[in-house]
Amino acid sequence: MKIDATAVRSYLTRWESLLAIATILFIVYAAATTPGLLSSASLSNAFQVVAEKSLFVLPLLLLIIGREIDISVASVGAFAAVVVGLLTQAGLPFAVAVIVGLLVGGLCGALNGFCVAVLGMPSLVVTLGSLALFRGLCYVALGSTPITSPIPPDLITWSYGTFLGWVPNNLIPLLILIPIFGIALHRRPIGRQIFAIGGGPDVARYSGVRVLRLRFWLFVVSGAVAAIAGVLAIGRTSQVTPDAMVGYELDAITVVFLGGVSFLGGAGRMTGVIWSLLLIVMLRQTLLLQGQGQYAQGLAVGLLLIGSLLLANISQRIGAWFTNRRLRAAAQAA
């Protein structure tokens, strides 16, 4: 088999490949300097606490590639959890309450989708509004006392359990949804349509993509996935609380952008986002084990994001400079 040198080079210079190398190097370095980092307890803790935020990453990946954004995910998830909690308290079986909760999440997403797709409002503004709206509803519906008593103990025990030695159970929804979202995005027509919309909505529409409908459904999916995260939050914190997952949307958006997804839409890969998630989780865990507080962790993640964007920008310019020079040389030779 002949290996195409340019193909290899272009693969290696792709953002997700660089990110993969950086992540692996970081883990090797961190494991050598931080005792216990790769112990099963440390790994399961590190991933267990990000179960909810990392779910938000999936719909956000699709939305941002399609030139939209949904910053209401954490509020929608918390609201769905509040619905689940209130229904359970009212005596409904927990499983039924969860199904209703997922539908409510989908409906919240539908509201966002309706405003964006049908009314044509910008998604940042719409979801900024619903971020506040659904968080407010959490407090209105629940009052100030978190629900703790009728939550099934099995859910809590499950959330804190692991399989394969260290993988936390509450990562299962993410592990199931990653391949589904990945295949939909990269192997199915719907994925190509999302990229087409991100590349240029008008062109996409003239090529037969039903832009508005797709946009609408992306928001519905986002709401439903957010609701799953809400249920996970109930298990992890042993309660339904109106301030569940506050601010998690920003962490999820950070992962998406560090994963190489274009701010302008139309570009991004699932693998990139997975590597960026791994990198941030391991970075935070390393700092935690070294005794650094949350402020220092935030600082490090912020520097990482800005630094990597800067690096990408510079390398692009250098690349462009070389191409220009080659073109000029070729023109002179001709």
Partner 1 sequence: MKHSIVRSTGIMAVAAGVLLAGCASGTPATSPGTGTGETGPAVPGVREDCKDGKGAVGLIPKLGTDPYMVVVKEAAEAAAAEIGGSVIFTSPSEATGAAQIPFVNQLVAQNVCVIAIAGSDTDSTKQALLGAQEKGIKVISWDSDVDPSARSVFVNQADSASIGDQMLVSMSKMLGPDGGDVAILSSTPTAVNQNAWIDSIKKQLETNPDYAKINLVTVVYGQEKADENARQATALVQSYPNLRGIIVPAGIGLPAAANALDQTGDLGRIKLTGLAPPTLISKFIQSGEVQSVWWNVSDLGTLTYHAAQAMATGKITGAEGDAFDAGALGDYKVGAKGEVILGEAQIVTPENLNTFKF
| Distance (Å, whole) CA 225 – CA 22 | 29
Stretch of 148-156, 261-269, 270-278, 315-323 lying at the interface with partner 1 (CB under 8 A): 148-156
Residue from 71, 74, 87, 126 that binds partner 1 (CB under 8 A)?
Answer: 87
When asked if residue 201 is in the footprint of partner 1 (CB under 8 A), the reply is no
**In whole angstroms, how close is the CB of 293 to partner 1 at the nearest point?**
3
**Nearest to partner 1 of 137, 270 (CB atom):** 137
Residue 166 near partner 1 by CB under 8 A: no
**165 near partner 1, rule: CB under 8 A:** no
Write the Ramachandran bin of 54: left for phi over 0, alpha for psi from -120 to 50, otherwise beta. alpha
Measured in residues, the chain has a length of 334
Contact between 183 and 163 (Cβ < 8 Å): no
Q: List, in sequence order, every beta strand (DSSP E) within 242-332.
A: none
**Quick one: how many helices (H) and strands (E) in the chain?**
15, 2
Contact partners, residue 198, CB within 8 Å, separation at least 6: 65, 66, 67, 262, 264, 265, 266, 267
Q: Is 100 in the site for partner 1 (CB under 8 A)?
A: yes
Among 117, 185, 196, 261, binds partner 1 (CB under 8 A): 117
* Helix (H) or strand (E) run with residue 168 in it: strand 167-168
d(CA 10, CA 15): 10
Site mask, partner 1, residues 265-294, x = CB under 8 A? -------------------x---xx-x-xx
Name the segment binding partner 1 (CB under 8 A); options: 66-74, 242-250, 262-270, 307-315.
242-250
End-to-end CA distance of the chain: 36
Residue 120 touches partner 1, criterion: CB under 8 A: no
Residues lying near partner 1 in the complex (CB under 8 A) are found at: 36, 39, 41-42, 45, 49, 87-93, 96, 99-100, 103-104, 106-107, 110, 113-114, 117-118, 139, 143-146, 148-153, 156, 159-160, 210, 212-213, 216, 220, 233, 236-239, 241-247, 284, 288-289, 291, 293-295, 298
